[in-house]
Amino acid sequence: MRRPVLSASAAAIALGLGLTACGSGSATDGGGDGGGALVVGATAVPAGEVLSFIEKDLAAEHGLDLEIKEFTDYVLPNTALQEGSLDANLYQNEPFLDDFNRSTGGSLVPVVKAYLPPMGVYSKKVQDVADLVDGATVAVPADTTNEGRALRLLASEGVIALRKGAGTTASPSDITENPKHLRIKELEPAQLPRSLDDVAAAVINNNYAQDAGLSPADDAVLLESTKDNPYANLLAVRKGDEDDPRVEKLAELLVSPEVRKFIEETYQGSVLPVGRD
């Protein structure tokens, strides 16, 4: 059974995941007035590393005072932003942001897409998804946002077809064509790398793949591209803060040639720069 993504993350918090901070202090009292440090929440990799590069190499030159707070879960950065202890965050994609707003009554909005940690199909059985045998089992994440993303990736290569309009929350019930009679097996995202001995292929999120020693650029038999991809990680703020001059400066830096070069050289295809739409 699919689990709502926020419920899965909340369970992670219950297991003891919390936040650590780089620097001190809190969001500026005047939030949105363009004064003081811009306090940005982020997960450590790649968001924290990208922001640290900007802080050390670009921010001063562009008159930006940047403070980074690192988090080790996927709910607290949005909660902290909504409650005002952050001015912005960088770690999530737009479907996840939309799900947060729907689930909590939040009012967070995207500013700019920065990079894509591409989801990939991994296998110890085949070198190409076209080589999957009839009746093969393919494991996918068992949460709403990531399962839809996994099915869309398979559909992009013609392995399956999805109902028109299925969107980012597509589920196996939306599969309209399955010429290889693939069996879709839903697993908790963190379990997917460990399933590779037991399934023909697994569609794995970037972070879990890298944690398991898999290189998205080298080991995936099918990898997402940045073209028309709704899953790029984005800079988010509270509604009304999009025009904060500090936010605008950070948005410009996130899509700058310098940051693009940093991402390309640092991650070697495991994280892809996106740039402004």
pLDDT one-digit tens code per residue, 152-185: 999 999 999 999 999 888 999 999 999 999 999 9
Structural domains of the chain, count: 2
Q: 37 and 11 in one domain?
A: yes
Q: 92 and 11 in one domain?
A: yes
Q: 136 and 94 in one domain?
A: no
Distance CA 126, CA 149 (A): 21
- 275 by Cβ neighbours in 10 Å (0-12 / 13-18 / 19+) ranks as middle
Q: Any idea what the CATH number is for the domain that residue 32 is in? A: 3.40.190.10
**By the 8 A CB rule, do 193 and 204 touch?**
yes
Q: 210 and 167 in one domain?
A: yes
Handedness of CA 20, 25, 28, 29 (dihedral sign): positive
pLDDT at 275 (0 to 100): 66
Residue 167's SS3 state is helix
Residue 276: CB partners within 8 Å, gap ≥ 6?
112, 113, 251, 255
Backbone angles phi, psi at 186, to 5 degrees: -90, 125
- Single pTM value for the model: 0.81
Q: 239 and 112 in one domain?
A: yes
Q: 114 and 235 in one domain?
A: yes
Q: 103 and 65 in one domain?
A: yes
Q: 140 and 97 in one domain?
A: no
**By the 8 A CB rule, do 187 and 141 touch?**
yes
Q: 127 and 112 in one domain?
A: no
Copy the structure tokens of residue 57: 């190499």
pLDDT at 73 (0 to 100): 87
- 159 by Cβ neighbours in 10 Å (0-12 / 13-18 / 19+) ranks as buried
Describe the crossing of helices 245-254 and 257-267 by its angle, rounded to 10 degrees: 50
pLDDT at 252 (0 to 100): 98
Bridge partners of 233, per DSSP, are 115
Residues of the chain with pLDDT under 50: 1-26, 30-31
Q: 96 and 20 in one domain?
A: yes
Q: 105 and 17 in one domain?
A: yes
Which of left, alpha, beta for 186 (phi over 0: left; psi -120 to 50: alpha)?
beta
260 is in which domain, residue-wise? 5-118+229-273
pLDDT digits (tens, 9 = 90+) for 16-42: 333 344 433 446 554 455 579 999 999
pLDDT at 207 (0 to 100): 86
Which of 21, 53, 88 minimizes the C-alpha distance to 235?
88
**By the 8 A CB rule, do 39 and 77 touch?**
no
Q: 125 and 114 in one domain?
A: no
Describe the crossing of helices 144-156 and 5-14 by its angle, rounded to 10 degrees: 130
Q: Locate tokens 């918090």: which residue?
A: 13
